[in-house]
Amino acid sequence: MPILTVFKIQNNLGQNLLDEYIKPICRKMGVSLREAPANANRGYAVAAQATSDFILWDCSVEQGHVYNALNMWVKTTRKHAIVSRTPLPRNVLTYFQCAPIHGGKFTNEIIGEWLDKQLPAIIQGKYSNLPYQNKILASHYWMFEKPAKYFLSFRGTHQKDTEIWRQRFEQVHQTSVRMVPPNEYSYPTECVTLQQMWEGAARLMHEIRAIGRVLIYMTENYFDSFWTATEFLTTLWMLGRDPKTGKTMLDEAYFVRNKDSLDLQSFRDGFIEFAIPKLNQPAMDRFVGLINNGDPITSAPETQVPPSGLAKLVAAFTQSRYGYYEPEFTTQSFWHVVRVPCPICKPRNRLSSKIDWHRHMILADATKSIDYFGYFPVETFELESGKVKCPNCHTTISLENKRGVRTLWVPIMTTEKDKSRPVIQEHKVWEVIDK
């Protein structure tokens, strides 16, 4: 009989999910259920990896959470599934998961229906296409579960026109187009760290990879935004040849000619027409390092802790090959210094021919200056005051924290002295007040 190990939250909601949903599903499937103990740690999780056929985690960020036991196997293998009533920590992402986006919340009833539909399939290494009854689940998009046929890269300032074009395109071609909804990865004027910016880029790369087809909705301000410019950069990189297979990582890429036409322009022709600079090999290698250190699947805030013993050999290998442990990716300025977007100094209608991919991928330090996309660093006490001043134009900018916190999972390393520190960090979500 297959063995399923479950790591539940030690609270009433966690117990209810286990008793009312997980246990009945396992009985129906003929699966032997093994419950991890309340004090389970990463050592227990490693043992479960070896002795279980599948592992299910309730990763809700609540009192009694399971993050002391969580390990990288959860994110890097398809032997695990994550469910959560709350948004997950920023750096927790796996192939099989059911969790709300930031600002959302799921109930055990929602998770229960997802498990009822998906658990039998995902134990076999795939997703089920069975329809959901719950409206929230039916409308919830997860890139690995039900990827669209096209990914549409567009500026949020043109949201309405783009949505109208997408609807017409879907109807005429009987297809599906993914438009990342407002606020899904970040809020329009959110203050973020450099690591958060490249984390968002990595998540977008996963979306693009899962779909395999990209549409570029080009507008005069497309390259003003870090997010859309990075979507283009990702597309450009993924159209390069994989040295192992000789194939591109994308199936197709096109430009949308204009909002009034459904005709698509080939990526090659659009690239030439807009005179967009190419990526040389150093720039491509640089992109890989940035993505690896932002990717929720592979990013590691614990790399800020110097490795010791055999870990030094692992660090040396991963540093040279993947960019991990490179000094610039372990700094306070990369992980923790929050950067504020100046509404005055941000780019405006940046010409495609003037894109500087080198400057795009520079990691600015904590020096009080404006970066390539109009962000500048601030101290924590400045954020808390609700007022900051742009070092370039000297405009006073008002900030607010009305959307709670984002969380970060930071496992305790063996080299750390404080073994009792929390493994979940909370970081307030600060936004520029749009006057």
pLDDT tens digits for range 80-90: 999 999 999 99
| E strand spans, 59-124 | 80-83, 96-98
Helix or strand or coil: residue 28? Answer: helix
- Is residue 212's pLDDT more than 50? yes
| E strand spans, 146-185 | 150-153, 177-178
**Strand ranges of the sheet holding 387-389, from the earlier edge strand across to the other edge:** 387-389, 396-400, 431-432
Nearest to 191 by CA among 434, 403, 399, 425: 399
- Is residue 187's pLDDT more than 80? yes
pLDDT at 328: 85
CATH fold label, 3-139: Rossmann fold (3.40.50)
Q: Rounded to the nearest 5°, which phi and psi values hold at 424?
A: -110, 120
Lowest mean pLDDT among 62-76, 217-231, 245-259, 330-344: 245-259
Lowest mean pLDDT among 123-132, 304-313, 404-413: 304-313
pLDDT at 387: 96
pLDDT at 248: 81
Spell out the domain ranges in the chain: 3-139, 147-362
Q: What is the mean pLDDT of the chain?
A: 91
| Percent of the chain residues topping a pLDDT of 90 | 80
CB-CB contact of 107 with 85 (8 Å): yes
Of 303 and 317, more confident: 303
pLDDT at 308: 54
- Is residue 371's pLDDT more than 80? yes
pLDDT at 434: 79
Grade residue 52 by pLDDT with cuts at 50, 70 and 90. very high
Q: Which residues contact 166 (CB under 8 A, 6 or more apart)?
A: 152, 177, 179
Of 170 and 366, more confident: 170
pLDDT at 304: 63
320-328 — which CB contacts under 8 Å span 24+ positions? 322/288, 322/289, 322/292, 322/298, 323/288, 323/289, 323/290, 323/292, 323/293, 324/292, 324/293, 324/298, 324/300, 326/289, 326/293, 328/363
- Is residue 317's pLDDT more than 50? no
pLDDT at 382: 94
Mean pLDDT score, 163-191: 95
Mean pLDDT score, 221-233: 97
Mean pLDDT score, 184-209: 95
From residue 384, alpha-carbon distances to 188, 335, 367, 417 in Å are 20, 18, 19, 30
Helix or strand or coil: residue 404? Answer: coil
Grade residue 307 by pLDDT with cuts at 50, 70 and 90. low
Query: What type of residue sits at position 280?
Result: N
Mean pLDDT score, 405-412: 92
What distance in Å separates the CA atoms of residue 140 and residue 348, rounded to the nearest whole number? 34
Lowest mean pLDDT among 75-89, 170-184, 208-222, 314-328: 314-328
Grade residue 24 by pLDDT with cuts at 50, 70 and 90. very high
- Is residue 298's pLDDT more than 60? yes
pLDDT at 216: 98
